[in-house]
Amino acid sequence: MKVFKLLPLVILVSTPAFANVDPKIAEFCLKATDFAGCVQTMTGGLPPKQQQDAEEGLRTWTRDDGTIIRFRPTTVAALKHDGKYGRYIEYQYGLEDKNYNVMWGVQADCIDYTANWDQDSAGWFKVKDPNMYLRPGENWTKFNSSKEAKAVLDEFCPVINTLPKSDTPIE
């Protein structure tokens, strides 16, 4: 039975176009919808911008409404409040859809689990339970934003003392 599973791999790797492909990469890429693109990516053929994004740990996901979110963990930093670090963090992320492309800065409180989006004039709001924004009359933007802020807090608050330090004042 194993022979039959490996047979397509052997045939594929033995074709002239893929003769120099590492068998482990070929086996991995068989599951991809774009085998050639997968092989190119796995063998270091990424364009410079995509290579930089991958090296910097760019995280990208799409919300239910089609908005694309891009977040770089390297933007997360500890904020000083009352002369001390250890409670607040800041980070940035980008939103892109067919109508706009914008970067947001966020300040977040690791104790109260609240967040404040720069330049939205809404102030701090709770993010510990994003589902509270699914009630009638609330909007999906608040739900999505608070769900994403909670994920950042969950990941980075436990390691706040290891984060780069920022002197940005807390609003």
Q: Which residue has the tokens 């609240």?
A: 114
Q: Distance between CA atoms of 92 and 21, rounded to whole angstroms?
A: 39
pTM of the model: 0.68
Which residues span the domain enclosing 29?
2-45
**Would residue 130 count as lying in a domain?**
yes
**Would residue 162 count as lying in a domain?**
yes
Checking if the pLDDT of 61 tops 60, the result is: yes
Checking if the pLDDT of 137 tops 70, the result is: no
Q: Distance between CA atoms of 121 and 98, rounded to whole angstroms?
A: 24
Q: Distance between CA atoms of 163 and 153, rounded to whole angstroms?
A: 13
Write down the pLDDT at residue 4. 46
**Would residue 140 count as lying in a domain?**
yes
40 & 63 share domain: no
Q: Give, for 91, the enclosing helix (H) or strand (E).
A: strand 84-96
Burial level of 171, CB count in 10 A (0-12/13-18/19+)?
Answer: exposed
91 & 141 share domain: yes
Task: Look at the chain and report how many structural domains it folds into.
Answer: 2
**More reliable by pLDDT, 5 or 140:** 140
65 & 147 share domain: yes
3-state secondary structure of 2: helix
Q: Distance between CA atoms of 128 and 149, rounded to whole angstroms?
A: 9
65 & 146 share domain: yes
Checking if the pLDDT of 104 tops 70, the result is: yes
Residue at 58: amino acid letter: L
What value does the mean pLDDT take over residues 42-70? 77
Write down the pLDDT at residue 138. 62
Write down the pLDDT at residue 29. 78
**Would residue 74 count as lying in a domain?**
yes
**Would residue 51 count as lying in a domain?**
no
**Would residue 50 count as lying in a domain?**
no
Q: Residue 46, Cβ neighbours under 10 Å: how many?
A: 15
What value does the mean pLDDT take over residues 44-55? 66
